[in-house]
A and B are shown apart, each in its own frame.
Chain A
Amino acid sequence: MLGYIGKRLAMAIPILLGVSLVIFITIKIIPGDPIASLLGPTGTPESRAALESRMGLDRPLPVQYVAWLSHTVVGDFGTSIARRTDVAPMVLDALGNTLILTAAAAVLAIVLGVGIGVLTALRRNSLAARLGNAFALFSISVPQYSVGLLLIIYLAAGAGLFPVSGMYNPSSGGGVVDLFNHLILPAATAALVPAGIIARMFRSAVLDVMSQDFIEALHSRGLSRRRVMAHAFHNTVPSLLTVAGLQIGNLLGGVVFVEAVFAWPGIGLLVYQSITQRDLPVIQAGVLVSAFAFVMLNLLVDALHGLVDPRVRT
């Protein structure tokens, strides 16, 4: 098992290097002149050359990349151009907030998805199953930004049941209850798509397992329906893990629309705001940290997968 995890970890390193290279190149092609915006209208060619040399921008691109990477691996993401503060704490804070939202959405999505998946697989022609199928179809097709807006209009602004945006109420001083209240609508919005996908995938996983011979064998041995279902469920865990893991990973990046609509101070909102401000170090760090979290999450899912299903370890 340790060998398997070590192998996956070793495979992640070249991927992360590739990720850093893609981000570096993407940032280099961003239009606009960061030096000019730093210098302002009073900049002279001499001051420009001095600043370029101080920031290392006059060196060849490969040298710039290695320099940037060597700072990045020790957690030094540079200074934000717009906010004039260290990027690292800002990005880590935002990542924490995104993880809170992602975790809440993931719990909701898994509970809903598994529930609907089981229902639609086992009671195939019932009304509830039809409704479940329709829900799954609509939830994967829905634009999250619109759902978020509708929830804000009717439940937050209209009915006043929830706060409209943000993570804490500035006047109440925070607290878990306040956070929970702010979390419900964004988490529900973010959970819609993964819930639909988990429901559809889990439905086919349950149907797949239920059609296998060993289920027939268990029935014929006189096991109760409940016991048979327990065996069946055990066999769907690897598929559930894979789908849920992928979905949680996708949530990390997919919540950007939700964060933008609900002004949730996560990494998506930070990157989005930094794009409008052309704050390159923050964009770089934000995307890099998300990709890193994404790769780590996939590793964790792989490890869990190896734990519950020994066949994949080979």
Chain B
Amino acid sequence: MTALTDVAPPRPPAATGVTRRRRRRMSTTARIAVVVVGLIVAVAVIGPFLVGDPNVGDTSRRLLAVGSPGHVFGTDGQGRDVLSRLVVGTRLSLLAGLVPVLFAAVLGTGLGMTAGLSGVWGHRTIMRTLDVFYAFPAVLLAIAIAAALGSGVSNSIIALAVILVPPVARVAETETRRLVDLDYMEAARASGASRGSIALRQVLPNVAPPVVVYCTALIGLSIVYAAGLSFLGLGVSPPTAEWGLMVSDHTQYIYSAPFLAAIPALAILIASVAFNVLGDGLRDLLDVRGEVRA
């Protein structure tokens, strides 16, 4: 599984004082990713209305092969239709990955901007506290938090949000610190704008693009982590249809029906690749280039 530090934080534009404004277009791969992400979201939204009940199974028809009549992706160990479970599971798998990133985006931007705009002590307190969370191997921390809170999708979301906030906050803080010394900020302060107004009108619009790019790249990772928590039994509980839980369910049949475990795994892979490519594409489009993290 990827770790948080894998997603390269965006690099601020070159400090020449001139913003490069070149007309940029998304690469073909990135456009394909947009389409795939769109399809996944569409499946998540309308899919559950198009397929049958994912929890109804006929044990006389268990472990049917891929391509069986009426069951395109076969059936699982309890005779439930794998396609239905995959389609219905899209919603939860996607939400379990997206929501922690949304939380982290809001909270991380808030914390990062506060740290960047406050004095030495405020900055130190916030950033040193976040450093503590950096000192944990991220996956292990998520597992420990999810275990502490108990299984369930909301707890898995909280666990993932906790490990995603610090890196987002760092991106927002770096960007804010860069802005603070620029002339237009000086002008805003001189014109008597309040701190709140400076934060909202001058800082936020400039901090948002790199944070959005960074967070898009985090979504793929978050989907894989969320499914991983379910795989370990720390996310959603059976019989809910969710991709990670499906992988774990299907693992018992890896010898009799090896393809079964591969199907939800492929779904996780496709979603994760699509969001990662989309993140790369957005980074190129918005001209916030990734860099080796120091």
Contacts and interface: CB of A to CB of B under 8 A. Distances in A.
Given A157-B255, A204-B292, A250-B5, A290 B273 contact: no
B128 interface: yes
Contacts of A208: 291-292
B132 A22 contact: yes
B232 A260 contact: yes
A254 B137 CA distance: 7
A253 B294 contact: no
A303 B143 CA distance: 30
A152 B262 CA distance: 12
Nearest to B234: A275
Contact of B8 (A201, A247, A252): A201
A257 B228 contact: yes
A201 B290 CA distance: 9
Q: Chain B: interface secondary structure?
A: helix
Interface residues of A, number: 61
B150 interface: yes
A182 to B, nearest CB: 19
Interface string B115-135: 000000000000011011101
A247 B6 CA distance: 8
Given A137-B273, A291-B135, A276 B233 contact: yes
Nearest to B132: A18
Interface stretch (A23-31, A47-55, A166-174, A217-225): A23-31
B147 interface: yes
Nearest to B144: A287
A272 B143 contact: yes
Interface in A269-294: 271-272, 275-276, 283, 287, 290-291, 294
Q: Chain A: interface secondary structure?
A: helix
Nearest to B265: A146
B90 interface: no
B214 interface: no
A94 B6 CA distance: 26
A30 B148 contact: yes
B149 interface: yes
Contacts of B231: 143, 145, 257
Given A141-B273, A287-B141, A149 B224 contact: no
B269 A257 contact: no
B141 A146 contact: no
B143 A256 contact: yes
A131 interface: no
Interface size class of B (residues with CB under 8 A): 35 or more
Given A22-B133, A26-B144, A138 B1 contact: no
A308 interface: no
B135 A295 contact: yes
Given A26-B148, A141-B276, A257 B268 contact: no
B174 interface: no
B135 A204 contact: no
Interface stretch (A34-42, A59-67, A74-82, A238-246): A238-246
A165 B268 CA distance: 24
Interface string B1-18: 111011010000000000
B162 to A, nearest CB: 10
A132 interface: no
A140 interface: yes
Nearest to A312: B294
Given A243-B293, A283-B144, A146 B268 contact: yes
B114 interface: no
A120 interface: no
B272 A142 contact: yes
B202 interface: no
11 contacts: A29-B148, A142-B269, A145-B228, A150-B265, A200-B8, A204-B291, A243-B293, A256-B140, A257-B1, A257-B228, A291-B140
Ranked nearest first, the 5 interchain pairs of A and B with the lowest CB-CB distance are A253-B137, A146-B265, A18-B132, A250-B3, A253-B140
Given A137-B276, A141-B276, A243-B293, 12 more contacts: A18-B131, A26-B144, A30-B147, A143-B244, A149-B254, A152-B254, A153-B258, A193-B2, A243-B292, A256-B143, A275-B147, A298-B135
